[in-house]
Amino acid sequence: MKILKFTLVALFTISLTSCKKDATTEKKSKDSLITKKDSVVIPEVHKEYYGIYTGEFAGKGELYDNETKEYYEGTDYKRLSLKINRITQDSVYGQSIVNGTQRPFRGIFNEDTQSFVLDEPGNDKTDGRFEIKLKNDSITGKWTAFNKSAVKAPLKNLKLIKKEFVYNPNFMLDENSDLIDWENPRDFKEKYTDEETGKTETYTASKNRIASDAVFKINASKQKLSEKDLKNLRKLDMEIIKNAVFARHGYSFKKQTYRNFFEQTDWYIPVSNNVDSELSPMEKDNVALLNRFIKYAEDKYDSFGR
């Protein structure tokens, strides 16, 4: 009886082992087929069109005036970069970069008309479709929002030029740059005394932050900064000096203030919404020091007309 039980157990074990081997063999066979299928390389075409195209991205919509605190109809201007990474016979792949947001797109390229139709994923309220045409090194066309009620300007026109992004630690703001932060006005209580009547009145004045010429002299990508270098600077000075580090690496700024400053240059090309890993050790140290001082620094305000 014991011998019979042992034989049955042995046969059952052999049967299970055989089943497992068959299942393993079948899985390996399937994996092999999948691997073989995935390993098929789809040939790329028109590699000469790969690269970064950057320029004006503008459309009419409802805008907000920081000074009057009111909305008005106007043209919303932004800087857009399109990165074309890969083109095959049936697909185009890349990213759009604007206002600190980087979105992937996929679409098609028509060789006869030299035109692209490129769709962002559609799972973000700011996603849309690019319908653009390529001519030499320039791209023109339009972008239409999928959700037209979710964005200020649901239809935008674009005019882009192909540019090669290059990191250069020598890049600085142009000395003719406007050094006023138009985006963050602050109200101040002012007093006015009439010389004839001697009567004093109080009124509210809206003023804007201004930077100094220090932003043309201090380069946090080339020189190791010390506390002595920063102690007499304005808050906006240090913000510009710090963010110039990120601008040189192609960071796409979310804050309009910084876009306004760096878009005045001919070298600024937004290519990524995260460049932290690109910073040199010295740049990282300088940014950390600047952050410490920015926290407690004060601003210089003045009144301006636009």
Render pLDDT for 209-261 as a digit per residue (tens, 0 to 9): 999 999 999 999 999 999 999 999 999 999 999 999 999 999 999 999 999 99
| Domain match, 156 and 188 both | no
Lowest mean pLDDT among 23-32, 111-120, 186-195, 243-252: 23-32
pTM score, whole prediction: 0.79
Domain count, the chain: 2
What span, in angstroms and rounded, lies between the C-alpha atoms of 92 and 104? 11
Phi then psi for 33, rounded to 5 degrees?
Answer: -65, -40
Judged against a pLDDT cut of 50, whether residue 168 lies above it is answered with yes
Q: Does residue 17 lie in a domain region? A: no
Q: Which amino acid is at 172?
A: M
Return phi, psi of residue 275, to 5°: -120, 15
Same-domain check for residues 295 and 185: yes
In terms of residue numbers, what domain contains 258? 180-302
149 plus 203 within the same structural domain? no
Q: Is residue 126 part of a domain?
A: yes
More confident site: 71 or 226: 226
Per-residue pLDDT at 11: 44
In a domain, 211, yes or no: yes
Please identify, among 163, 193, 211, the residue that sits at the C-terminal boundary of a domain: 163
Q: Which residue has the higher pLDDT, 77 or 53?
A: 53
Instruction: Compute the distance between CA of residue 179 and CA of residue 37 in angstroms, rounded to an integer.
Output: 57
Residue 203 confidence (pLDDT): 86
Largest Cα separation within the chain, whole Å, is 127
Query: CA torsion angle for 254, 256, 258, 259 (degrees, to 10)?
Result: 90
Q: What pLDDT digit, counting tens, does each position of 87-130 carry?
A: 999 999 999 999 899 999 999 999 999 999 999 999 999 999 99
In a domain, 2, yes or no: no
- Asked whether 59 and 156 are in contact (CB, 8 A), the reply is yes
Q: Are residues 153 and 247 in the same domain?
A: no
Q: Give the CA-trace dihedral at 44, 45, 47, 52, to 10 degrees.
A: -90
Residues 69-73: contacts with CB within 8 Å, 24+ apart?
Answer: none
Direct distance between the N- and C-terminal alpha carbons of the chain, in angstroms, rounded to an integer: 104
Q: Which carries the bigger pLDDT value, residue 1 or residue 286?
A: 286
Residues 139 and 200 grouped into a single domain: no
Q: Over the chain, what is the mean pLDDT?
A: 87
Residues 105 and 96: beta-carbon distance below 8 Å: yes
pLDDT tier at 17, thresholds 50, 70, 90 = low
- Indicate if the pLDDT at residue 9 is higher than 80: no
Instruction: Report CA-CA distances (Å) from 295 to 102, 198, 236.
Output: 28, 42, 11
> Looking at 163, 191, 217, which one is the last position of a domain?
163
User: 42 pLDDT band (50/70/90 cuts)?
Assistant: confident
* Mean pLDDT to the nearest integer, 129-150: 96
Question: The domain that contains 158 carries what CATH number?
Answer: 2.40.128
Measured between alpha carbons, how far is 274 from 266 in angstroms, rounded to an integer?
A: 21
The answer, yes or no, to whether residue 169 has pLDDT greater than 90, is: yes
- The rounded distance, in Å, linking the Cα atoms of 248 and 257 is 16
Q: 262-300 in b/e burial notation, b at 16+ Cβ within 10 A?
A: bbeeeebbbbbbebeeebeebbeebbebbeebbeebebe
